[in-house]
Amino acid sequence: AMLQSNEGASEEDNDEEGSYEWERQFTLTPPKLYVHTEPSVVKVNKPFKAIISFTNPLDRELTDISVDIDSKDYDREAKFEGPIKPSAKVQLVTAEMKITEAGVS
């Protein structure tokens, strides 16, 4: 993964004492996410959990990291415990889910 930062400051004209506005633009190549399930074979109407893991590729801590899990009948956000230190491998286990004939519930 790669992080590029372009920083710049500009002075705003409307403040006599001078105030500054900082802008940062980041280009981030996301890390590889690894996903597997428990049990390893998912069956219709049987509960399972998803295990999602990745390694922080940056030289800075990550905070407020979440994964959105979406399907026709399912929309949930799962959050990683943070902060995530540089080069740390983290794992998230979702709440139990079920695949139904209509989708995931």
| Calpha distance 105→95 (Å, rounded) | 11
CB 72 within 8 A of CB 102: yes
CB 26 within 8 A of CB 76: no
What's the confidence (pLDDT) of residue 27? 74
What's the confidence (pLDDT) of residue 35? 93
- In the chain, which residues have pLDDT < 50? 1-5, 9-14
Cα angle value 79/82/21 (rounded, 5°): 100
Residue with tokens 């949930």: 76
What's the confidence (pLDDT) of residue 52? 93
| Calpha distance 84→104 (Å, rounded) | 29
Residue 65: partners with Cβ closer than 8 Å, 6 or more residues away: 79, 80, 82, 84
Q: What is the DSSP letter of 17?
A: T
Domain boundaries, the chain: 31-98
| Calpha distance 88→36 (Å, rounded) | 19
